[in-house]
Amino acid sequence: MKVNDQFVSTRRFRLKTVKFWRRPPGVTTFWPLAAALCALVWSMSAPVSTESANFRRSTSLQSQLVPIGILFFQDESGMNAPADLGQKIAKDLQQKLAINYKDVLPRMLNAGLDPSASAAMSVEQVVTLGKQHGVKFVVRGGLLAVTTENAGEETKIGVQLYASITSVESPGDTNVRAEGSGTQKGPVAELSSVDLKAAGFRNSALDQALSAATMQLATSIHDAITAAASTTVANIKPAPDSSAGTTVETEAAQAAAADQELQQLIAQAESTLGANPNSSTENINALRQALEGLKSALAEKASRLQENKDIGAADQEIATHKQEMQTALANLTAEASTGDTSAQIQQPGGEKKSLLARIGDFAGEATSLLQKIQELRSTLRSLREDDSANQGAPQDPASPQDPGAQTEETTGEVTGTVTQDGNPVEGAIVTGQEAGGSVTTDINGLFNLKGLTPGRLVQLTVAKNGRVIGRGQVEVLGGRAAIADFQTTSRADGRIPVNAMPGVLTSTIVGNRARTPGLSTGTLKGVVRDAIGRPVPFALVQLSDAGMARTNAQGQYSFVNVPVGIHQLTVRHSGMKPKSSQVTVAAQTSVEARTQFAAADTITRDRQSLIQVSARTVLRGTVLDNQTHPLAGAKISVIQSETTVSVLTAPAGIYELRNLKPGFYIVSVYKVGYQVASQTVTLKASATEQRNFQL
């Protein structure tokens, strides 16, 4: 694969070889040279001393107020709270923080976003927003519940709030909850009819409860923020090497989650219009413009990644167009739910056909750009691993060097669904790149491919009756399940499905009322939470006679235009036992469903260590390219059940793994730009096995 070599020398890199390569069959094109140069330039601009950087940051925290940005809260109570309640909670929270705590500087950041839009933002997008406004933390949250209790002549109201605190400097969320209560004589009005500006609202039971809950929330937020600041101040010494790996893993997980949100939004655009192609031209055109803008912003991000330029502006553009898409889709969904049930399906006219075709094209291009961005990130990670493998390399390239240290971790997995024209595909074979890595979909079209090496892109192929119906890549990380939903469509002749790319099922399923004229329908909305009340993103929700959806980043889902009657609702999430219940959908009404996993629902993973010091086993070998040049930084992984042990090849292309338990293993070799190679090996106690690979 090697065509030419270019040698680059920097103060952090010793002699470095960057290889051009041709694309192997079945592997998506990368840009290794551009990414390599971008990694080199980035490394040259990095601070020389981590200790001095941490010291400067800690000194700043000690001498300045901590700026906090607050976004409007959203209503998650399901009680149709007044539209301005979220704004009131956020402003009251700002006031209580400002009055009671002199070491913080809270201010509002509405940024033109409504509460649902701010809640839908990924951690990466929130961090970008925070940086633009110069704050250290961003707070967003919602109203969880409002309860009413009669106590003689008085009525008691309870309020539950939550907040997510995002650190701009160390991206990640901290969640806190608060409760408050109030009483008043006589009955209270329904929450949906409360006028927050009316004189009667002041000092009412609801006002008292909100004030108490907001004060408690302010205290919890302040405690969380000052604790985070104290941790930063204490962190003057440089972190151990392992922390860098943890940071990279965290960033990779956040980036993967942001990708999944966009994949889900694109899927919703296609499915909503697919079910209701006769929506108004105005709403369709608004969606087209938003999707076109998203595609352009993704292209700009990919370009800036290649050129090692700041991507903050591109991420903000992506967030803006994401909000525009959400608004357009909300309008389309509302239009579909109020359509004429007596109308028959009609073919859209020429103008709409053109709009729908362009939306389909933009959706495909946006999905391809997301995959391109994933490839760039993967290439950059590989180059960092190359740098790690080359640190301290001898000046003579022919001299050998000891292989790197081996690491042990939990294997990765990919979970997903395979559907054709919206119907589950049973018996489809989903194959990964690991030796023996294939599973068959069940009656619901579900699959779970385990035992994968984390920290890389995995190429997947889906076949049915000997024909490939889907293929593509998905990013596999340790500690979380990657999602790959293949939604295939038939060709015009109805015989061979068109190849599908992996994506994420939409969070909103919109049925077409015109397909069943005269049939009464309703809406089911729901939220899925974990054992401590946090939203569960991308859980799989299956509703009988309506289809399958995945929850969004806030754990929410909805089924619109569902036939009235009793339906079976099943919620699945990786690592948890399925939760099933029955729900009744009534005509022209919206039903709320809440699902919460308990600690007892957790499926215990039986991950056992593969390291046994007394085993005295040795697995060693070399990794070469197809022109017999040694490959440094290739990742060698041995896999058994839920555990994998990995090591990177040294500059001479050699590797060595020691003291693994005797037994049967799958050995996988991965390096960006090359096809994965796998072998099986049986290790015996006190014995040495040699396995060489050529990529």
Rounded to whole angstroms, how far apart are CA atoms 373 and 388? Answer: 23
Beta strand 137-151 with 154-167: parallel, antiparallel or unpaired?
Answer: antiparallel
3-state secondary structure of 232: helix
What is the pLDDT at residue 18? Answer: 33
What pLDDT, on a 0 to 100 scale, did the predictor assign at position 38?
A: 43
* % helix, strand, coil for the chain, step of 5: 35, 30, 35
Query: H-helix or E-strand containing 417?
Result: strand 412-420
Confidence at residue 533, expressed as pLDDT on a 0 to 100 scale: 84
Average pLDDT over residues 242-248: 44
* Position 691 confidence tier, pLDDT thresholds 50, 70, 90: very high
Contact 28, 375 (CB under 8 A): yes
Query: Would you state the pLDDT for residue 637?
Result: 92
Strand, helix or coil for residue 607: coil
Over range 633-641, report the average pLDDT: 89
Q: Residues 153-164: pLDDT tens digits?
A: 888 899 999 999
Are 120 and 261 spatial neighbours (Cβ–Cβ below 8 Å)? yes
| 104-139 core/surface letters (b: 16 or more CB in 10 A; e: else) | bbbeebebebbbbbbbbbbbbbbbbbbbeeebbbbb
Q: Helix 312-337 and helix 241-275: axis angle, to 10°?
A: 30
DSSP 58-106: HHHHHHS-EEEEEPPPEE-SSS---TTHHHHHHHHHHHHHHHH-TTEEE
Helix (H, G, I), strand (E, B) or coil at 284: helix
Lowest mean pLDDT among 28-32, 170-174, 404-408, 594-598: 28-32
Indicate if the alpha-carbon torsion angle 585, 586, 587, 592 is positive or negative.
Answer: negative
**Residue linked to tokens 């490394």:** 43
**For residue 547, which phi and psi values (nearest 5 degrees)?**
115, -165
Q: Does residue 505 have a pLDDT over 90? A: yes
pLDDT tens, residue by residue, 259-307: 888 989 998 888 888 777 778 888 888 998 999 999 999 999 999 888 8
Residue 435, pLDDT above cutoff 60: no
pLDDT at 429: 95
pLDDT at 36 over 60: no
Using a pLDDT cut of 90, give the percent of the chain over it.
30
Q: Locate tokens 């090497």: which residue?
A: 241
Highest mean predicted confidence (pLDDT) among 209-223, 485-499, 509-523: 209-223
User: C-alpha angle with apex 291: 140 to 139, nearest 5 degrees?
Assistant: 5
Helix (H) / strand (E) containing 570: strand 565-572
pTM: 0.64
